[in-house]
């Protein structure tokens, strides 16, 4: 059986970001002159991916004629991937036709995330988050003037010389928590999910709120359960569209479920035996929700959750 990475999906040392390289005004020319530079292509929120036999990112070289016509404003220096400079190209004009690459097509990351090599999934998650941010900030929020990319695409600067506001990539912090009551864990489900699927409690951190405050508030709002001790576990970038999931375990200070809003269709306590028996379904192993459940489950069950689900 393959050893599972200690990093959550979409995270880990898949890329050397080398942020200092973004400060070089000649970064794009340097990328052009480097024959080893690899380019990944985005169209909206989709990326060019090759299938067969397994999906993988379609890396293009600088000598590709479709890359040769790219302008600097369309490009973002991501960093160094597998020791090669890696540049994101936003194919706004639709110049990169996937039909000319065998097995290639533009696809959304989410349904592919568990099929791609882990390092490539992380790279596309990073690229997707940047593309969404750039698309949403084409104009200055202060004066309305168009923005222009700077610092290798990681800054959008207002073109109005009397404003000159600089915009930086933003992420939305969100908490996700497994509430534990001894041998039981609190899970909820949304009405849109597949039948039988439950997950941990999650929600966005609000202005003026600590992440611990957000844990307590979200659990109370969605289930009516009070929490006691709150312990941070791990985090996961979640580019759908631009969240950072902050994962916690929390102990229950009350036990009677009383849903106070319409966020969840149902919430229940489940034992390890319930989960081992296949009810409820607990989502994909690539999610931080799985990691939170797995950590708790494995601490009190003779067979690891990954093996239970493989039986």
Residue 178's pLDDT is 98
Q: What percent of the chain has pLDDT over 70?
A: 98
Residue 211, classified by CB atoms within 10 Å of its CB into exposed (0-12), middle (13-18) or buried (19+), is middle
Question: What CA–CA distance (Å, rounded) separates 160 from 75?
Answer: 22
Q: Inform me whether the pLDDT recorded for 128 exceeds 50.
A: yes
**pLDDT tier for residue 304 given thresholds of 50, 70 and 90:** very high
- The correct answer on CATH 1.10.357 for the domain covering 19-136 is no
Q: Inform me whether the pLDDT recorded for 309 exceeds 80.
A: no
The SS3 assignment for 260 reads: coil
pLDDT per position as a tens digit, 46-78? 999 999 889 999 999 998 888 888 999 999 999
Average predicted confidence (pLDDT) for the chain: 94
Q: Inform me whether the pLDDT recorded for 3 exceeds 70.
A: no
CA-derived radius of gyration, the chain? 22
Yes or no: say if 212 and 230 are a contact pair by the CB < 8 Å rule. yes
Report the Cα–Cα distance between both ends of the chain, in Å, rounded. 13
Tokens linked to 55: 């999906």
Q: Inform me whether the pLDDT recorded for 180 exceeds 70.
A: yes
**pLDDT tier for residue 2 given thresholds of 50, 70 and 90:** very low
Residue 310's pLDDT is 63
Question: What CA–CA distance (Å, rounded) separates 142 from 83?
Answer: 39
CA 89, 95, 98, 102 torsion-angle sign: negative
Yes or no: say if 105 and 21 are a contact pair by the CB < 8 Å rule. no
Q: Inform me whether the pLDDT recorded for 1 exceeds 60.
A: no
Least confident of 2-11, 169-178, 229-238, 248-257: 2-11
Taking residues 291-299, report their average pLDDT: 96
Domains 19-136 and 172-308 in one fold: yes
44: left (phi over 0), alpha (psi -120 to 50) or beta: left
Domain coordinates of the chain in residue numbers?
19-136, 172-308
The SS3 assignment for 123 reads: helix
Q: What percent of the chain has pLDDT over 90?
A: 86
Question: What CA–CA distance (Å, rounded) separates 85 from 68?
Answer: 16
pLDDT per position as a tens digit, 6-32? 789 999 999 999 999 999 999 999 999
Contacts of 85 (CB under 8 A, 6+ apart): 31, 34, 36, 37, 38, 77, 79
Residue 11's pLDDT is 95
Q: Inform me whether the pLDDT recorded for 176 exceeds 90.
A: yes
Least confident of 95-109, 113-127, 172-186: 95-109
**pLDDT tier for residue 100 given thresholds of 50, 70 and 90:** confident
Kindly report the number of other CB atoms within 10 A of residue 136's CB atom: 14
Question: What CA–CA distance (Å, rounded) separates 226 from 253?
Answer: 5
CATH superfamily of 172-308: Nucleoside Triphosphate Pyrophosphohydrolase (3.90.79.10)
Least confident of 66-75, 129-138, 162-171: 66-75
Least confident of 2-16, 92-106, 242-256: 2-16
Q: Are strands 84-90 and 38-43 parallel, antiparallel or unpaired?
A: parallel
304 backbone dihedrals φ, ψ, rounded to 5°: -60, 150
| The length of the chain, given as a count of residues | 311
Q: Inform me whether the pLDDT recorded for 37 exceeds 90.
A: yes
**pLDDT tier for residue 311 given thresholds of 50, 70 and 90:** low
Yes or no: say if 60 and 111 are a contact pair by the CB < 8 Å rule. no
- Considering the entire predicted model, what is its pTM? 0.91
Residue 251's pLDDT is 98
Yes or no: say if 174 and 203 are a contact pair by the CB < 8 Å rule. yes
* Angle ∠(37,40,43) on CA atoms, nearest 5: 150
Task: Fill in the DSSP letter of residue 33.
Answer: H
Task: Give the HSE-up count for residue 60: Cα atoms under 13 Å, Cβ half-sphere.
Answer: 27
Q: Which residue has the higher pLDDT, 93 or 258?
A: 258
């Amino acid at each position: 059986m393959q050893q599972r990475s200690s990093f959550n999906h979409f995270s880990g040392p898949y890329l050397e970001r080398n942020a200092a390289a973004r400060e070089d005004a000649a970064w794009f020319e340097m990328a052009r002159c480097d024959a080893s530079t690899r380019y990944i292509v985005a169209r909206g929120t989709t990326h060019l991916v090759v299938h067969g036999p397994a999906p993988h990112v379609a890396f293009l070289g600088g000598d590709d004629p479709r890359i040769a016509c790219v302008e600097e404003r369309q490009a973002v220096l991501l960093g160094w991937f597998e020791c090669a400079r890696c540049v994101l190209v936003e194919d706004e004009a639709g110049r990169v036709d996937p039909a000319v690459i065998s097995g290639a097509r533009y696809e959304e990351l989410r349904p592919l995330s568990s099929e791609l090599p882990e390092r490539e999934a992380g790279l596309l998650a990073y690229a997707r988050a940047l593309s969404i941010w750039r698309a949403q900030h084409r104009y200055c929020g202060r004066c309305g003037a168009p923005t222009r990319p700077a610092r290798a695409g990681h800054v959008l600067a207002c073109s109005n010389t009397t404003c000159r506001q600089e915009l930086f990539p933003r992420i939305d912090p969100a908490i996700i928590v497994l509430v534990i009551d001894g041998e039981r864990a609190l899970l909820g489900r949304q009405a849109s999910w597949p039948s039988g699927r439950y997950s941990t409690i999650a929600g966005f951190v609000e202005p003026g709120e600590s992440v611990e405050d957000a844990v307590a508030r979200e659990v109370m709002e969605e289930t009516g359960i009070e929490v006691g001790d709150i312990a941070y576990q791990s985090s996961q970038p979640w580019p759908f569209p631009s969240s950072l999931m902050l994962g916690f375990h929390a102990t229950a200070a009350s036990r009677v479920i009383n849903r106070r809003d319409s966020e969840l269709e149902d919430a229940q306590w489940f034992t390890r035996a319930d989960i081992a028996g296949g009810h409820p379904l607990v989502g994909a192993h690539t999610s931080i929700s799985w990691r939170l459940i797995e950590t708790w489950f494995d601490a009190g069950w003779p067979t690891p959750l990954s093996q239970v689900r493989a039986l």
